[in-house]
Structure 1
Amino acid sequence: MASIKDIAKACGVSVATVSKALNGHNDISQATKEKVREAARQIGYMPNSAARALKTNRTYNLGVLFVDEAQSGLTHEFFAAVLDSFKRHAEGRGYDITFINHNIGHGHSSYLEHCRYRGVDGVIAACIKFDDPEVIELAYSNLPIVTVDHVFNNRAAVLSDNTDGVHKLVDQLAALGHERIAYIHGENHSAVTQKRLVGFYRACAAHGITVPDAYIVPSTYRDAKSCAAATRQLLALPQRPTAILFPDDFSAIGGIQTIRQEGLLIPRDISVAGYDGNLISQIMSPQLTTYRQDTEALGRAAAELLIEQIESPRTALPEQKLVSGSLLKGQSVDVPNL
């Protein structure tokens, strides 16, 4: 089996230089790094993970805590895309990925216990109940952590600009003349929902739009059935809205079906908009106006923040990075039919 000594001999450099080159140290030139890595590939050198862990006190393994209320798992387009980006950028830095759960063998464990059992160097936490005592325990342990769309005090986080996202959607509707705009939002306890509601009310206030309480209806993220029921409630109002914002693109399917069942046309009779910018929004008919979240940037930022905490613990700051998205103009909104 090839060793570091074999690489050093092939390159005519010291074992220490080979070790530094393979681990990406800055005091080794890029040319030497490439020479060493090419030699390693040619002789079939594979680093021993156990030996590397003993030497560096790191396992090069990152935990992923991902649980959503709808139990949709990796079929959840937004979080699947964020985690895919996170995975690719983490792997590019030499890290592997392990999903965190409650199981150690056949026994139940807390999230923190499972992290310690798996020996992860740090954790990304996404789409979960952040008020869960086990999540709070993990967040305030000595394990590096980055959360997605939630901020714990003095902990790193990556945040989609949810306030600006809804604001942009309202701006688009207001520019077309809509004044009766309803909003079907996700779970009340979610920080994402709270920020989107703030964005909605701010945008309406900026355009001089009064929002009746009946126009704000709770629902569940990524739940077409719940969104359909909320849409039916809005359509039954004595003065129904001329435009509806849905919680997300997937939920919008239920809302759109309900509108059509009532014999209404989109956007002639009522305008609709989604959120996320998933593929589904772009293949709907009519194409959905929505706000695309930058999942690539969110995943990359999460990997960078987490690895910085792991590799440079003395200089890393618990930053909260805000990532903006973009408005996608479809054919589901038009001037109000008054």
Structure 2
Amino acid sequence: MIKIKDIAIACGVSISTVSKALNRSHEISDETTKKIVEKANQLGYIANSNARSLKTKRSQNLGLIFVDKSDSGLGHEYFSVILNGIKKEAEEQGYDLTFISSSIGRSRNSYLNHAKYRGCDGVIIVSADFHDPKIIALVESDMPTITIDYQFHNRTAIMSDNTRGLEEIVRYLHTMGHERIAFIHGEDTDVTKQRLASFYRTCEELGINIPDEYIKTAEYHIPKNSGIATKELIELEKRPTCIIFPDDYSYMGGLTEIEKHGLKIPDDISVVGYDGIYLSRILRPVLTTYVQESEKIGETATSELIKMIENPKTYLAEKIIIDGYLQIGQTVKKIQDWGKKNEIWTIRW
């Protein structure tokens, strides 16, 4: 069995230095810590978790809350990539992961009690109803918590830039000649409110008038609901020239309806997704979508939670925005002469 002494010899440092590095002591530089941790991993060193816990007062265990309304679970690519980012960063920093629910066996419980029962040092809330009293109780407790895409007072939140995302989409569509832009958005969440506000504001700045019937409500990650909304849009007397979907996966429902109506993308109607999941790049035509850096979101959430756990006296909560980028695919048609096309479409409708 590899011991701390073996790592010290291999790295040419003292046993004390190795011990401090493995416990992420601020007395050791990041460069030295990284070198020692990498060598320990190479040698197959396994720390005694009980001894470490007694010394550091920490379990090196992070809790994850993942409540997915669509019931797609870990199979949903957007969330699975976030979770993979969390896993990678946690492993790199020597932490384990435990999923936390509001029940233990058949007994109903609070998220806070379950996290304590599992000995978690802190919790990352990946997806949940942030207005759930059990979630609020956890966040307002002394348990270190990080949220993704929702910010509580005095708690760090990791946010994708929803405002910038919709602005970039609308400005791109405008340069492609589109003014009849429909937006199918998700359920009433903070993310939806940010996207809607950005959509309306950018359209107003560009002088684009959006009729109320061009705005439809669906639910994130549920293709059927976006399909129903798409059917309503393409059956309008003056249908939009482009539809923005709440996410790439929901777009599949819209695609089905578009094909049912004998329309071709982008010749007859243009479409834009959101998230930038792998599916968007293998579809034909390649989907134009706003790519969220989901793995980076997961890594950053984990890194920030560990900072909060290990430096409780100096850590300051903040809102951290992770920028994305527009993936220009093949699903948006350039309208060369808007006035002429508009006249043709009016006759067709």
TM range (shorter): over 0.9
- What runs of 5+ residues in structure 1 fail to find an aligned partner? none
Three-state SS of the structure 2 residue aligned to 1:275 is strand
Q: What CA distance in whole angstroms lies between the structure 2 residues aligned with 1:108 and 1:38? A: 44
Q: Which residue pairs with 1:73 in the alignment?
A: 73
Q: What CA distance in whole angstroms lies between the structure 2 residues aligned with 1:301 and 1:8? A: 30
Query: Which is worse superposed, 119-128 or 3-12?
Result: 3-12
Q: How many residues align?
A: 336
Q: What CA distance in whole angstroms lies between the structure 1 residues aligned with 2:181 and 2:6? A: 69
Superposed displacement of residue 102, structure 1: 2.5
Letter of the 2:114 counterpart? H
Q: TM-score, normalised by structure 1?
A: 0.92
Q: Which residue pairs with 1:248 in the alignment?
A: 247
Contact 1:11 1:36 survives alignment (8 Å): no
Superposed displacement of residue 22, structure 1: 2.7
What is the percentage of aligned positions where both structures have the same residue?
Answer: 50
Q: Which residue pairs with 1:124 in the alignment?
A: 124
Contact 2:271 2:332 survives alignment (8 Å): yes
Superposed displacement of residue 65, structure 1: 0.4
Q: Which residue pairs with 1:92 in the alignment?
A: 92
The equivalences for 1:43-62 within 5 A come to 45-62=45-62
Three-state SS of the structure 2 residue aligned to 1:184 is strand
Contact 1:82 1:296 survives alignment (8 Å): yes
Q: What CA distance in whole angstroms lies between the structure 2 residues aligned with 1:88 and 1:35? A: 18
Q: TM-score, normalised by structure 2?
A: 0.90
Q: What CA distance in whole angstroms lies between the structure 1 residues aligned with 2:298 and 2:69? A: 21
Q: What CA distance in whole angstroms lies between the structure 1 residues aligned with 2:298 and 2:166? A: 21
Letter of the 2:113 counterpart? E
- What runs of 5+ residues in structure 2 fail to find an aligned partner? 336-340, 343-349
Three-state SS of the structure 1 residue aligned to 2:146 is strand
Q: What CA distance in whole angstroms lies between the structure 1 residues aligned with 2:173 and 2:33? A: 57
Q: What CA distance in whole angstroms lies between the structure 1 residues aligned with 2:75 and 2:49? A: 31
Three-state SS of the structure 1 residue aligned to 2:226 is helix
Contact 1:21 1:32 survives alignment (8 Å): yes
Three-state SS of the structure 2 residue aligned to 1:274 is strand
Cα displacement string for residues 39-97 of structure 1 (whole angstroms, at most 9, x for unaligned residues): 7965x642110111111000000011011110111112111111211210121111111
Letter of the 1:284 counterpart? L
Superposed displacement of residue 3, structure 1: 4.6
Cα displacement string for residues 272-313 of structure 1 (whole angstroms, at most 9, x for unaligned residues): 100001111111121111000011221221112111100101
Superposed displacement of residue 206, structure 1: 1.4
The equivalences for 1:1-338 within 5 A come to 3-4=3-4, 15-28=15-28, 34=35, 38=39, 42=43, 45-188=45-188, 190-336=189-335, 337-338=341-342
Q: 1:69 to 1:38 in 2, by over 3 A?
A: closer
Q: What CA distance in whole angstroms lies between the structure 1 residues aligned with 2:144 and 2:119? A: 12
Q: What CA distance in whole angstroms lies between the structure 2 residues aligned with 1:284 and 1:33? A: 41
Superposed displacement of residue 167, structure 1: 1.1
Letter of the 2:178 counterpart? H
Contact 1:249 1:275 survives alignment (8 Å): yes
Query: Which is worse superposed, 30-39 or 252-261?
Result: 30-39
Superposed displacement of residue 15, structure 1: 4.5
Letter of the 2:92 counterpart? G
